[in-house]
Each structure stands twice: as structure tokens, then as C-alpha cells.
Amino acid sequence: MDKPFYVHRFRYHFSITKLLFWSLLFLSLIYFFFYHPPSSSDSSRRRLWGGADWEYRVLHSARPRSRAGGRVVLVTGAAGFIGTHVSAALRRRGDGVVGLDNFNDYYDTSLKRGRASLLERAGVFVVEGDINDSLLLKKLFGLVKFSHVMHLAAQAGVRYAMKNPSSYVNSNVAGFVNVLEVCKFANPQPAIIWASSSSVYGLNTKIPFSEKDRTDQPSSLYAATKKAGEEIAHTYNHIYGLSITGLRFFTVYGPWGRPDMAYFSFTRNILKRKNVVIFEGPDHSTVARDFTYIDDIVKGCLAALDTAKKSTGSGGKKRGPAQLRVFNLGNTTPEPVGKLVSTLERLLKVKAKKIVLPMPANGDVLFTHANVSLAQRELGYKPKTDLQAGLKKFVRWYLDYYSPSGKKSAV
């Protein structure tokens, strides 16, 4: 016998509810197990910005020191390695600088706090917040007419992408789009200079890497998100008239550097008499990097900012074609990782306990080598520091910072 109509309806609603329930449970489990952003200290739990004192500090930091009409720059990722050096250099020459960083715990947050304190003493206020927080960005743009945005905030590191892929999508793709969205509506629109990466060259084998080479074979998710950033930059330039310059940095090192990078962790391990693992390529081939000293990168960043043309849009509408550029910023001299270790041994006066292993398939590439002739021509970029001289400065900083009475060095 046929069931009454309301029984079917009841069953229908019941199964929809069940389906919804299980889908929600499934999505929550996926979210719970796969999405772990490096926690951004307390910023996700409580609002760390706003209020009269906070506004005063932003406005004070944004005021150019000398020239009327000086540059006013928002530096994202300002408590990061490169962001700190760039912010300090901009402030030293008199520009107005406001920093922004979420102080996430991808690596030792006390290092980020230490950098922010240095910047504070140099007259740069680092706002604690996330680039995905549109309200915060709108508030900052409401308070300050930024002439430039130096966008350096990102989830960095190649290997960590295998552990926490979502953090890359969150900061390097969604976060970048959020920054561009706010910039497109700003009046005037700022010019944007942002950090891409040499990793976009991926499996490219033509050396040295030139901006014209193919970048469609990324070998890590990190590289893929930076490549996505370059395409996103093209779109916002094309539709909204934003002036955008992408900088492909090659293995940057120096004082106040990143503890997750080889030169930093090798130094730590050599001093602690722990093993130093050196990877080699197929058939015992050497892994080499175009190590670039931070001061050279800072000069490249400032030159990119100084040569950036104005954005052409306003109120979210393009008014004419705008500048779109991409530059390699490297050192042009690839050095084997073995040489990095032997130089550190000499500087630290300690023999390393070396272990040589085949490079695992974790996204790292065997070789990087920058052709910087475009940056040389258009930015006057000319790297000056070789690996030996740069590591000497890094080691001096490291020994001072990690000495019991340390943590006082300047940038």
C-alpha cells in the first residue's frame, strides 16, 4: 500500500537533514585536521588594533620625516626578516612607514618581537594584525594615504607546505587578493611592490634564470602560490590600473634572518655539535643556491619602490594602462651548499658533523642562478656582497644575539 504523502515528505526532510548533518560534520573534520594556520599569536582571538592611542601611533609612524610629499609606505610582513630591514631602511631615509604583521608562530616569535622592537626604536610602528582582515586594512587606508605598499607578508618556506598547505593559500593567495582589493578602492591607489620568489622557476633548467624563462612548472606548493600571485597581480593591473612590481628574491640571508633557512640552522647545529645534513642531487650532484645578502635585497626593494609609477585607477575603476613589472633580485653567483658549510666552519671555528643524504622529494630544487640584467638596467641593481663577507656579518650578529647579554644589535 502507498504511504501517505506526509510520510514521504517527512522522510525526505529527514534525509536532507541527515545529509546536511553528515556533510557539516565531514567539513568540520576536514577543517580540523587539515587547516592549521601557524597561529597568529592572539590576533585571531582578540582584536589587537583600534583606539585613540593606536591611531596616534599609526599616524605618527606614517608621517614622513623630511620632505613634504615624501613617500608613505605600508610594509606588510614588517616583523619578518626582509620586512624589518626594508622598513628600517625606508625610515632611515625619511619615508613614513607603517608596518603590519600577524606575528604567527611559523618560527620563533621572540625573534619577530625583537625585530618589531628595533623598528619601534627606529620610529616604525608595527601594527599587529592579519592581511586577511579587511576591516583593519580599510581602517589603515582610512587613516593614512599610502603612496606605496611593500607587500612582504607571506607564508614562506618550501618544505612546510607539505605539513600545512592551507597556510600558503591563506596568506599567499587569499591574503594577497585581500590586500589588492583594498588597494584598488583606495583613493589615491598606492603603487604595489611585492615579494614573489625565485622558486617560480621550479623545474626550469635554462640557466641563469631570466624573467623571460618559463615559470609554469613549480616544484612546491609555495612556488605555486607565488606563481599564482604573479597571475593575480596581472589581473589587478589589467582590470583596476594598479601599478604592481613583483620581485623574485633568490635565497636571502643575513642578520635577523629566518631560523628555518639552511645557513641559520647549520650555524645553530654546528655550535651545538649537532649533525648538519647536506643534501645532494642525483648521481651525487651538488645542490647550489644563489645566496643573496640582505643589504643588496634592500637596495633592490627601495629602487623598485622609487621607480614605480603611480597607479592609474580610482574608486575601483581603471583610468588608463598601469605599470606591471617583475624582476629577479639575486646575487648571480650560485654557491654549493658544501661551501656554505665550510665557510661557516671557518667563521665559527668549529668543525661541522656533516651527513650527506640524497635530496628528498619535498619541493626543493637543485640549483638557482639569477640573471639580474633587467634589474640592473631598470633599477640600477648591482649586488655587492659575496657569501664569505655576508656570512661574516650574519655570524657576528648570531653570536651577539644568542649570547647571554645579546639581542641588542641594530639592523
Ligand X SMILES: NC(=O)c1ccc[n+]([C@@H]2O[C@H](COP(=O)([O-])OP(=O)(O)OC[C@H]3O[C@@H](n4cnc5c(N)ncnc54)[C@H](O)[C@@H]3O)[C@@H](O)[C@H]2O)c1
Q: Is 193 a residue that touches ligand X (CB under 6 A)? A: no
Q: Is 381 a catalytic residue?
A: no
Question: Of 222, 253, 293, 398, which one is the catalytic site residue?
Answer: 222
Give the rounded distance of the alpha carbon of 241 from its chain centre. Answer: 24
Closer residue to ligand X, CB minimum distance, 197 or 245 = 197
Closer residue to ligand X, CB minimum distance, 101 or 296 = 101
Q: How far is the CB of 410 from ligand X (least distance, A)?
A: 18
Q: How far is the CB of 241 from ligand X (least distance, A)?
A: 24
The residue sitting closest to ligand X, measured at its beta carbon, is 80
Q: How far is the CB of 361 from ligand X (least distance, A)?
A: 21
Q: Which amino acid is at 258?
A: R
Strands (E), 174-307: 191-197, 244-249, 252-253, 275-280, 288-289, 292-293
Number of neighbouring beta carbons within 10 Å of residue 299: 18
**Helix locations, 214-293, DSSP H:** 221-240, 262-271
Q: Is 331 a residue that touches ligand X (CB under 6 A)? A: no
Tell the burial category of 146 from Cβ atoms under 10 Å away from its Cβ (0-12, 13-18, 19+). buried
Closer residue to ligand X, CB minimum distance, 137 or 341 = 137
Q: Is 101 a residue that touches ligand X (CB under 6 A)? A: yes
From residue 132 to residue 171, the character string flagging contacts with ligand X as x (rule: CB under 6 A) and all else as - is x-------------------xxxxx--------------x
Q: Is 249 a residue that touches ligand X (CB under 6 A)? A: yes
**Interacting residue with ligand X among 41, 64, 83, 363 (CB under 6 A):** 83
Closer residue to ligand X, CB minimum distance, 198 or 312 = 198
Tell the burial category of 175 from Cβ atoms under 10 Å away from its Cβ (0-12, 13-18, 19+). buried
Closer residue to ligand X, CB minimum distance, 155 or 219 = 155
Cell match 593559500: residue? Answer: 169
Q: Which amino acid is at 360?
A: P
Spatial separation of the C-alpha atoms in residues 6 and 33, rounded to whole Å: 40
Backbone angles phi, psi at 319, to 5 degrees: -115, -5
Q: Which amino acid is at 123?
A: G
Looking at the annotation, which residues are catalytic?
A: 222
Residues interacting with ligand X, by CB under 6 A?
77, 79-83, 101-104, 112, 130-132, 152-156, 171, 175, 195, 197-198, 249, 251-252, 258
